[in-house]
Amino acid sequence: MASTLKKLSVAVFVLALPWIVLYCLGLGLVSVWRAAATLWRLPRALRNTVRCPLGHPVETASFWRCQCGAAIAGYAFTRCPHCGEAAGRIDVCPTCGLSIRNPVLP
């Protein structure tokens, strides 16, 4: 009986092994893809100005208001020192009034 169970467990392992390897390779590829995408967007995020959807330049290092109401002096997409939330967008372009997405976020 023990011999049969051992053979069965080895057979299940051998049949499952290719799927486990494919799953791990898939996770690795997704991680590499996300890292490459973040590195691709990083230079845009570190500029002193970003562009709104209509192309107007907007300063990223200035005075900003968080959603919690705190006024922040500094980079627009850092975490708020009061509530800890990260800004996903700049609320208003001073020229046209459109919101500007954080260039690092997908």
Chain-centre distance of CA 39, in angstroms? 11
Quick one: average pLDDT of 6-28? 88
Quick one: average pLDDT of 4-20? 86
- pLDDT attached to residue 1: 62
Reply yes or no on whether the pLDDT at 4 is more than 70: yes
- pLDDT attached to residue 98: 86
Reply yes or no on whether the pLDDT at 106 is more than 70: no
Evaluate the CA torsion angle 91, 63, 48, 80 in order and state its sign.
Answer: negative
pTM of the predicted model, to two decimals?
Answer: 0.53
Quick one: average pLDDT of 49-55? 87
Residue, of 103 and 83, whose pLDDT is higher: 83
- Quote the CA–CA distance of 13 and 24 in Å, as a whole number: 16
Reply yes or no on whether the pLDDT at 45 is more than 80: no
